[in-house]
Structures are given as C-alpha cells and as structure tokens.
Amino acid sequence: MTEVPKGAAGLSEDNVRLIEKFGASRVSELASTPDFYTFTNGLMHSHRDFHVYYARLLKGERSAVVSGLNASGTIHLGHFPVLDTNMYFQREHGAEVFIPISDDESYVSLKVKSQEEALVHALTLARSMIAYGFDTKKTHIIIDQLYTGIYNLAIKLSRGVTMSELKSVYSYTNDQNIGLHFYPAIQSAHIILPNEFGIKNVIVPIGPDEDAHLRVCRDVAGKFGYEKPAVLHSRFMPGLEGQKMSKSKGNAVYLLDGEKEIRKKIMSAFSGGQVSVEEHRKLGGDPDVDVSFQYLRAFFLKPEEARKLHEDYRKGKVLSGEMKAMFFERVMKRVDEFKRRYEKVTARDIDRILLKNEDVDVPALVERLGILDS
C-alpha cells in the first residue's frame, strides 16, 4: 500500500488548536444545527456563538453572512464547504451575503504585482460568484478599489487596534510595509460592514487558519458598540496528493480548469489502494487516506452511500481507479454547470452585485480589463 503522505495527519491541527487553545466550541456538541451536508458531514468543525446566530436566523431576524476571498486566484474544490454554506443561509433563510474580495491585501502582501492585476482577479472572482449561484439581489461584493467608503470605517476601527496586538497575533515585524499592518483594520471593517446596513446578526464562515482575523475583529467590535460576529470554522480538506492544499503546489482542482487537466489531477491523486489489482482484491484498500474517497464522502455522498463505499473499498470490491472515476464524474458535473453559468454572466450582472462608488462605471471597466473575454 502507498505510504501515507507527510503532513496528512496535520491537516486537522489548526481545527483542534482553535478549541484547545483559543476557546472555540465544537459544532458537533450543539443541540441544533442545519440539515445541510456541511454540517451533517462534519465539514463545519468548530464555532464561536453559532447557536446564537442560528436561533436569531430561525426567528426571522434580518441576518448576514460575510465571507471573503483573496484576489490572487480562482475558486477551487476547497472553497465548496464555505461557499455552499453561505448559499444555504441565503437560499433557505434569506440571509444577505457580503463577499469582500481583498484586492488591497493581495497588493500590500505582494501576492500580485500591481493594483490593476488585483482588480482583474477581483472582478473575475465577482463573475465566478455569480456563476456559482449567489443571488445578485441578496449578495454584495466589496472590491475596495471600487468601494473606497470601506476605508472610512477602517479608520474609525483602527483606533481600537494596537501595534502590540498585531505583532502578537500576526507576528508582524518592523520591516514589513505599513499597508500590511493596517489591513486588519480594513478586514474588521469588511466584517462589521453589514451593521452599517442595519444588519446586526452576522456570521463569518472561515477556514481555521483565518481565525486570527476574527479574534481581532470581535475584540474591536466590542470596543465600538457593535455586536460581535459569530464564526464558523470549516475543516481543511487535503490537496490531491494528501497534503495541505496550496496554489503553489498545484494540488487543487480549479473550477476553470479544463477537463483533461482535471482528469490528470484526479487520476494522479493520492490513493489508499494496493500496488496491484490482485493485491487490492485480496487485501483491500484504506479509504481513510484515499483522497478521492475523502472528497466523495465529504461533498457528494449521503452518509449511507459513503459507509457502503468505505466498506466495499476496504474489502477490495472497489478499485482505486474506480474510486477516482466516481470522484471525477461528480466533479465534472459541478464544473460543467459552473462553466455554463460563467459564460452567461454579463457586465450588467457584475455591476448589479458590486458595492461601489457612484462614479464607478463597472461595464466600461469590465470591458477595458477584458473580464468577459475568456
């Protein structure tokens, strides 16, 4: 059997640390959670005050979800749990979704070469959010170059953040640019922004590695009389080779990848199978380290289907190639649906979903930057 990849066992360490060191609570211990796959399949691992948010949501209180994206790439399978959870709250409970796309953070952290490059990425992500299925009437995308009012709120909140706190939380050093030091105030402004629209019941679904931003924001919110936002921490899914997902490693399936590229990535994914068909039939495989099975169980299968597939793979009734084929088929269905909608997005759609300054001509900007050209 193939050796378990190094780093695979550490994928849940951030989730565990949030509970043991930073006071988060387990979602599994809540008395009531949504009947949705990200909760029933354990993809939402821990939380801060989710029970408070959910109770108010069920009572019909106007509520919001804030969920940011980095303006240095495109969406991939690892985004599914958070994006799908956001859409669940929007579709089932009418929550308004605020999506800050961090064009300025991408620039000051040197993830992109220029502000215009960050803007191209951000507008492309706005197009992707529409294609993903978010309701343009209940979704507000914030690109800070186009909605500069966010900085006034950030300036207000900045008085509640100290350099000693930033150095403690982020390990910032004096030789880093001041834009990076100021960005936590901007990020807090993004999260608190729904309050400026009269929405006080706010939740922020994030990956476990982003909790520091919320700890800073929840502290700042209290200082300025805002309600502290609730938080949901998703569980990390592995990259295709079984290690932490990373753009630099190319170990993720992106929704704009071509079919051949996706097939190649999935067929090369880490397997829990034996070295030959004969050995696999005789000894069986290890579904708990098989990446294709992990994704099928987490995203695509009902619990009873996952249990049967787990048992069949363990007994050698299902081969590794067959497991990968199942994974590929389901991924391509999602990708094809996304791409069909992606092609239909118009400049007017993007204009409708953006929060922006009055003088921003989004259709002209979209045309100049070629956002709809591919």
Arithmetic mean of pLDDT over the chain: 93
Same domain as 256, residue 113: no
35 and 131: one domain? yes
Could you tell me the CA-to-CA distances from 156 to 1, 188, 215 in Å, in that order? 57, 11, 18
173, 268: one domain = no
Mean predicted confidence (pLDDT) in 192-215: 95
Domain stop point among 188, 210, 234: 234
Q: For residue range 66-104, list pLDDT tens digits in order.
A: 999 998 878 999 999 999 999 999 999 999 999 999 999
DSSP SS3 for 273: coil
Residues 257 and 219 reside in one and the same domain: no
Does 79 lie in the same domain as 206? yes
One DSSP character per residue, 127-184 reads HHHHHHT--TTSEEEEETTT-TTHHHHHHHHHTT--HHHHHHHH---TTS-HHHHHHH
Per-residue pLDDT tens for 20-64? 999 999 999 999 999 999 999 999 999 999 999 999 999 999 999
Domain containing 79 equals: 12-234
242 assigned to some structural domain: no
Asked whether residue 240 is assigned to any structural domain, the reply reads: no
Q: Classify residue 1: in a domain, yes or no.
A: no
Decide if 7 is inside a domain.
no
The predicted-structure confidence for 334-344, as pLDDT tens digits, reads as follows 999 999 999 99
Q: Please enumerate in sequence order all residues whose Cβ is within 8 A of that of 321, keeping only pairs 6 or more positions apart, or say none.
A: 267
Tell me how many domains the chain contains: 2
Give the CATH number, domain containing residue 252: 1.10.240.10
Together in a domain, 357 and 251: yes
Burial 61-94 (b: 16+ CB within 10 A, else e): eebbbbbbbbbbbbbbbbbbbbbbbbbbbbeeee
**Of residues 209 and 99, which shows the higher confidence score?**
99
Residues 6+ apart with CB under 8 A from 341: 130, 131, 132, 133
Secondary structure of the chain: what % helix, strand, coil (to 5)? 55, 10, 35
Same domain, 203 and 273: no
* Residue 343 lies inside a defined structural domain of this protein: yes
Residue 200 lies in a domain: yes
Domain-ending residue, one of 213, 234, 255: 234
Task: Using a pLDDT cut of 70, give the percent of the chain over it.
Answer: 97
- The answer on pLDDT for 145 being more than 50 is yes
User: Where residue 248 falls among pLDDT bands split at 50, 70, 90?
Assistant: low
Close Cβ partners of 320 (under 8 Å, ≥ 6 residues apart): 271, 272, 273, 280, 285, 290, 292
Q: Are residues 31 and 169 in the same domain?
A: yes
Does one domain contain both 184 and 43? Answer: yes
Question: What is the pLDDT confidence band of residue 245, given thresholds at 50, 70 and 90?
Answer: confident
The residue from 234, 263, 291 where one domain ends is 234
Q: Are 302 and 256 in contact (CB under 8 A)?
A: no
276 shares a domain with 141 = no
Q: What is the mean pLDDT of residues 203-216?
A: 93
Residues 157 and 290 in one domain: no
Task: State the Cα–Cα distance between residues 27 and 47, nearest whole angstrom.
Answer: 6
Q: Is residue 3 part of a domain?
A: no
Structure confidence by residue, pLDDT tens digits, 149-184: 999 999 999 999 999 999 999 988 889 999 999 999
CATH of residue 60's domain is 3.40.50.620
pLDDT at 191: 98
Residue 69 lies in a domain: yes
**Do 61 and 197 fall into the same domain?**
yes
